[in-house]
Amino acid sequence: DGTLWLAWQDSRFSGGQHDGIALTRSTDGGLSWSVPVAANGSPAVAAFTPTLQVRADGLLAVMYLDLRPNTAATDTLLAAAWLATTRDGAAFAETVVWNPFDMTHAPNARGLFLGDYFGLVSVGNEFVPLLALPSTDTSNRTDTYLLRVLPSAATRPQPQASGRVQALSVVEEREFRRRQAAFTQRVMERRVANWGARVGLRTPDAAPARR
């Protein structure tokens, strides 16, 4: 329906203590965005590496990793992969994708890192995640898995967004929004024919009307 969704990791929900998964959406072609909310189910632990997909019926899924299964043991760093689904960006349901795996076996690339080999698509009612997980084989530090997941219908309460955002000046904000909207439209026009007309945008070279 032209809605844009965006997810990333930052530490706004924990006062800078650890990363969580921030989620926002735009219904006007990127001119304005909703206040980010936390999509991860456990705000008390670090969450990272979000991947997005919208099902044909409008159900949004966010796959991410977190440290919920970790213990006090110093020789392991247990993590899990989750699928959080929502229709409105407020009420979420959560389904486990893989739990647990040991991050200490992941390659060390200036920190434990599983790479960018993550993806998410949908087939009918199922979501199909692609993810890299650590291997105990020291000559092959990761394996890549393709799974099929039927999302849960159970919902969980969503914490309110918090934290501070440094404000731009009026001129900076206007130019930032113009460039952001133009870039978004160019990308979406390559993916969906007449996308700009469907959401009521002008051409990317013109400054969108502020609302």
What pLDDT digit, counting tens, does each position of 9-61 carry?
999 999 999 999 999 999 999 999 999 999 999 999 999 999 999 998 999 99
Work out the pLDDT band at 7, boundaries 50, 70, 90.
very high
Distance from CA of residue 2 to its chain's centroid? 18
CA atoms of 27 and 5, how far apart (whole Å): 9
Average pLDDT of the segment spanning 161-172: 46
- Pair 19, 10: CB distance under 8 Å: yes
